[in-house]
Amino acid sequence: MTNGPAPSLKTERTTLRRRPNKGVYDRDSIYAILDEAFVCHVGFVQEGQPFVIPTGYGRDGDTLYLHGSSASRMMRALAEEIPICVTVTLVDALVLARSVFNHSVNHRSVVVLGKAALVEGEEKMHGLTVLTNHIVPGRWDDVRPPTDLEMKATSLLKMRIDEASAKIRSGPPADDDEDYALPYWGGIVPVRTVTEPAVDDGRLLAGVELPSYLVDYSRIRPIEG
């Protein structure tokens, strides 16, 4: 009898074959990457044709919620609980080596494998709350809730996070030993996702101020523990 989900999400299918030293499989590391990003790409096959579609998402514990229009190809296909692959990537730096071959990118990426199921009823409202607050924490309680018509036009899928892996590359370039004697620059160019101050739409009612959660809004998540 288990006391909860397994701490490792490593399976035969998620095990990194190339550069296995960059593979990370613990939930905490994988969830930290998922929580910092806010756009994922969903891969699936329909009638023999592969598709990869970007969409918004949110995480609640060990469940991933995926958002889309009720009329979209992806949501209709995934509602049939077909195998899917969800990927997320954060780029941290360009890695410039002394040879073209050894150039790279410092990044943190996640691959989640499984099946998604359509969410209905009260859980659908909960999932949309999770997704909205994932992108802008605190936003759901600060806006008009969706109407019945808007809820019908929106589909929400959920996916258990039971099989996943992260791949993390950090540090300087790894040049060949003999290339360090060459007169070329080597190093990294850091890359960050930066948000600028919020700009109102020019139609605010008198007295409406910028919400506190938008002051210094950032996608970078604090490290816990």
Could you read off the pLDDT of 63-78 as tens digits, one per residue? 999 998 887 888 888 8
Mean pLDDT score across all residues of the chain: 92
Contact 110, 168 (CB under 8 A): no
Q: Say what the pLDDT of residue 3 is.
A: 61
Task: Give the start-to-end residue ranges of the domains of the chain.
Answer: 20-192+206-214
Share of the chain above pLDDT 90, in %: 77
pLDDT band at 212 (very low <50, low <70, confident <90, very high): very high
Which residue stretches of the chain are H helix? 27-36, 73-78, 121-135, 148-153
Is the pLDDT confidence value at 2 over 80?
A: no
Is the pLDDT confidence value at 22 over 90?
A: no
pLDDT band at 224 (very low <50, low <70, confident <90, very high): very low
Identify the sign of the CA torsion 123, 125, 126, 130. positive
Fold of 20-192+206-214: Pnp Oxidase; Chain A (2.30.110)
